[in-house]
Structure 1
Amino acid sequence: MNRRGLLRGAAAAAATGVLLPAARAHAAARADTDYPPARWAPASTANCTASDRPSEYPVEYVVIHVTQLGFTDTLRVFQNPAKRVSAHYVVRSADGCVAQCVGESDVAWHAGNWDYNTRSVGIEHEGWVDRPKYFTRAMYEQSAVLTASVCDRHGIPKDRAHIIGHCEVPGATHTDPGPLWDWARYIQLVNYV
């Protein structure tokens, strides 16, 4: 089996996501995900905007984030209607497990810039910007497979002009994914899939 097949197989094997009790009631409303290996762990509907993308807004970017929290805590934040934040996906550090929290047709509130929120898919990565041990091989590989899938489905070029860090969003006050994120490795993986 070639590397592409191994990465895809690993993505499917890593999909042992966490569905918190508060989200289980909503899971029946969406039995599938936009990215089949992902587990559905819905954000509160108070933390995103229902839309019909790409009809309403073109999807032109993937925004890479680092959570500054653990995986399960991030899902809890997205499920708390008082937090007013979400992302489309969260990738776990240890094994690359992917949870989908907002459908790609909807607008997640992740970039801190409404224009970029409407035109992007946000992917959070478990970890802290100053702790590179969280940027594991499994996380990079599974995230790259996810990002390649998003790019393929939306016709997004797989380059640094379209796959950007949260810190590169105009007006951003965040520093993630930070200087320890290996962009060269990540973009190479995205293009290898």
Structure 2
Amino acid sequence: MERPRPLPGRRHLLKGAALAVLPYTLLPAPRAGALTPAPDHPSGEWQPAHPSNHTAADRPADHPVDFVVIHVTQTPYANTLSIFQEAGRSVSAHYVIRSGDGHVAQCVRESDIAWHAGNWDYNTRSIGIEHEGWVDEPRWFTERMYESSARLTAAICGRHAIPRDRAHILAHYEMPGTDHTDPGPLWDWDRYMSLVASV
């Protein structure tokens, strides 16, 4: 997880520090008895990120969706959701997958831009999936997590006409300019891509 890179020209300097200023829309507080929005992924649970942590958009009308980016949280599942839901954290992903049972939470609509890749161009053109765990502890990469994530990735690829290959399903460490290493060398790409292809 990391801070986004805004579009050029949307920076204000304050005492030498660059602060990202990105557009967002504040949503009204839900009314009592209001329906919870259905997630884009049928088996997902809607756990919305705070509006200040992502950018409202109308993808693919205003930005094509060309990639899926695979992340590892480096913190527990519940903590990841809390971070995304806290105002002003400037980080989010579209989805978070729990290690033990593969449960999927959706935090940002696929039509909106999550701040996950550390590269604004890739943020605008991708769907980010966080996986609970640590890059140096492969026990977190359970069979249920791999299977659930593969079904999610295959569905995203289907919805956005993204080829199911490693040129379009990327690791966070493959983002230009990133200093992140996730999902790390212990993520089993062969196994994962085979699952994605078989769904």
TM-score category by the smaller chain?
Answer: 0.7 to 0.9
Are 2:39 and 1:66 aligned? no
Query: Can you give the 5+ residue segments of structure 1 that lack an aligned partner in the other structure?
Result: 1-22
| Map of 2:111 onto structure 1 | 105
- 2:124 is equivalent to residue 118 of structure 1: yes
Structure with bigger helix share is 1
**Selected match of 1:85 from 86, 91, 110:** 91
Aligned residue identity for 1:126: E
Correspondence 1:15-164 to 2 at 5 A: 28=34, 30-164=36-170
Distance in structure 2 (CA, Å) of the matches to 1:96 and 1:74: 15
Structure 1 residues 128 and 27 mapped into 2: Cα distance closer, same or farther (>3 Å)? farther
SS in 1 for 2:129: strand
Partner of 2:184: 178
**Amino acid of the residue matched to residue 57 of structure 1?**
H
Amino acid aligned to 1:151 = C
Deviations 1:45-64 (A, max 9, x none): 00000000000000000000
Deviation at 1:29, TM superposition (A): 6.5
Conserved 8 A contact 1:26-1:42: no
Structure 1 residue 82 displacement after superposition = 2.3
Which residue identity is paired with 1:157?
P
Question: What stretches of structure 1 move > 6 A for 4+ residues in a row?
Answer: 23-27
- Offset at residue 73 of structure 1 (A): 0.3
- The alignment partner of 1:190 has SS state of helix
Aligned residue pairs, count? 171
Percent identity for Structure 1 against Structure 2: 62
Structure 1 range deviating more: 99-108 or 79-88: 79-88
Give the 3-state SS of the residue equivalent to 1:129 in structure 2: coil
What secondary structure is seen at the aligned counterpart in 1 of 2:128?
strand
User: Is 1:187 equivalent to 2:193 in the alignment?
Assistant: yes
TM-score by length of 2: 0.83
Q: Which has the larger radius of gyration?
A: 2
8 Å CA contact 1:34–1:103 kept in 2: the answer is yes
Shift of the 28–161 alpha-carbon distance from structure 1 to 2, 3 Å rule, reads farther
CA offset at residue 81 of structure 1? 1.4
Distance in 2, matches of 1:28 and 1:97, equals 24
